[in-house]
Homo-oligomer: A and B are copies of this chain.
Amino acid sequence: MKKEIDNKLNLKNIKPTAMRQLVLQVLTEQKTAISLPELEQKFEKADKATLYRTLKTFQENKLIHSIEDGSGSLRYALCQDNCECDPEDLHVHFLCTNCNQTFCLKDIPVPTINLPSSFSLESVNMVVKGVCSNCKK
> Interface of A with B (CB < 8 Å)?
68-70, 92, 94, 97, 105, 108, 111, 113-116, 118-133, 136
Contacts and interface: CB of A to CB of B under 8 A. Distances in A.
Nearest to A134: B118
- Number of identical protomers: 2
Among A69, A122, A125: residue with most chain B CB under 10 A: A125
B131 A119 contact: yes
A126 B124 contact: yes
B124 A129 contact: yes
Nearest to A126: B126
A70 B70 CA distance: 8
Shortest 10 CB-CB contacts between residues of A and residues of B: A118-B133, A68-B70, A111-B111, A121-B130, A122-B130, A120-B130, A126-B126, A120-B131, A125-B127, A123-B129
